[in-house]
Amino acid sequence: MIYIAFSSFSIIRKIAGGRTAADLFGPLEWDEYTRLKIPARLAEWEASRLAVKKMIKEVVPGTESLLLTSIQVQKESSGAPYVVVNGAGRLPGCLSISHSNGYVFTGYAEETSRFGLDLEFIETRSKEFIADYFTENEILHLQSCTEECTPGIATLFWSAKEAALKAGRLGLRLDTRKIEITPQACFEINPFWQPVKIVCPELGMDFPRLYWRSEAGFIQSFCVNSIEPAVTSWVNL
């Protein structure tokens, strides 16, 4: 099961309930917190951490009554996030976080260690951006699309690549043109998860599965290494 949550910064801030940072973030998080000086970056960091803490309290048995400071988000050397719970250590499984334009999209899967998600606001991508990050087949697909559909499809391509790179623990160390995304013949913005074909041997995943949906002007995507179709459950923040 992959637990996922999507919410705006403004709603997530209500989790704080007027409490100070000292009441929200644990000692393992303070080093990163104190290094953030840009207000926008700090807002992203706070919202994403609070979203994770709330989600973990909702889905992981035994954490329901814990203080928020007892559930902490840390990063591996690769940048991949994980959760540490006071008294229990690092939680098994996989955590993934993404944020864009004042919204957070996060997921946790206890039974898999190869999972990544991404959130992107639908907008026009420049010709230079497309040439730098997309494959020839992806570019040809965009050129065949109507002007109305192009921003959504280009955003889907980019979001899907980001999700796959997170699942493969590669970040942008792998050329995104080594990942090829093929959407369904008919691209349609809707709130239902839709599979999309992915080809990328360099990910090191035997059974990569990629899905996407749209909500509130965003593309959400996730990639998981699984022989079976992914099962998701939404968490209300």
Q: Which domains does the chain have, with CATH numbers?
A: 2-116 (3.90.470.20), 120-218 (3.90.470.20)
Whether residue 4 has pLDDT greater than 70: yes
The confidence band for 99, taking pLDDT boundaries of 50, 70 and 90, is very high
Angstrom distance (rounded) from CA 65 to CA 63: 6
Closest CA to 27 of 72, 66, 90: 72
Q: What is the pLDDT of residue 7?
A: 96
Whether residue 77 has pLDDT greater than 90: no
Rounded to two decimals, the pTM is 0.93
Query: Which tens digits make up the pLDDT trace of 7-48?
Result: 999 999 998 888 889 999 999 999 899 999 999 999 999 999
Angstrom distance (rounded) from CA 207 to CA 140: 26
Query: Which tens digits make up the pLDDT trace of 105-137?
Result: 999 998 766 889 999 999 999 999 999 999 999
**Mean pLDDT (whole number) for 167-191:** 79
Whether residue 78 has pLDDT greater than 90: no
Angstrom distance (rounded) from CA 74 to CA 55: 16
